[in-house]
Amino acid sequence: MYNFINVISAWMIPAIIAFIPLYAAFRKVPVYETFTEGAKEGFGTAISIIPHLVGMMVAISMFRASGAMDFITGAIEPLLRHIGIPGEVLPLALLRPLTGAGSLAYTSDLIGTFGPDSMIGRIASTIQGSTDTTLYVLTVYFGAIGIRRTKYALKVGLFSDLVGFLAAVFICLYIFG
């Protein structure tokens, strides 16, 4: 069964990539023309979201460089250790809603330091897969289509990240602890 799942996993993405144009051709959709038209629209969208991305990147850099993340981590870490959450994963919980690349780099650093089979490595990997880059998503997608009122989306997204973080930690502690 394990080998069968590995074979299916290895071939699923290439099969999907091959299936989509073949299905479109079968439906008599002009595949290349449709692709190039979508690429043109995508380029326009990319140009329109650049200011939003620059603003978000500056804000993230200021947050990290100001020491605010270290201050917040230092203030919350004793409480989290008291309930069994390793303090090493707390910066990941703060970074993940802000930046995918930054959180991935931090996760890689944790795995490099503690190992992939350590509790911290497992928790960091699970957090990485259980949460999203909420502020990035709101900035890019809402900025691309011009949505200005993001109050509820922001609250729900950040709450979902918190739930994903806590669930990842407690499930890893339960399963591997």
In the chain, what are the domain boundaries? 47-176
In the predicted model, what is the mean pLDDT of the chain? 87
Helices 31-65 & 68-82 angle (0-180, nearest 10):
90
pLDDT in tens, 107-142: 998 999 999 999 999 999 999 999 988 988 888 788
pLDDT in tens, 78-102: 888 888 889 899 989 988 998 888 8
E strands, 98-165, are none
Please, are residues 167 and 85 in contact by the beta-carbon 8 Å criterion? no
Quick check: 70 pLDDT over 90?
A: no
Question: Residues 6 or more apart from 84 whose CB is under 8 A from it?
Answer: 173
Quick check: 31 pLDDT over 90?
A: no
Enter the pTM of the model. Answer: 0.67
- What span, in angstroms and rounded, lies between the C-alpha atoms of 122 and 127? 9
- What span, in angstroms and rounded, lies between the C-alpha atoms of 167 and 163? 6
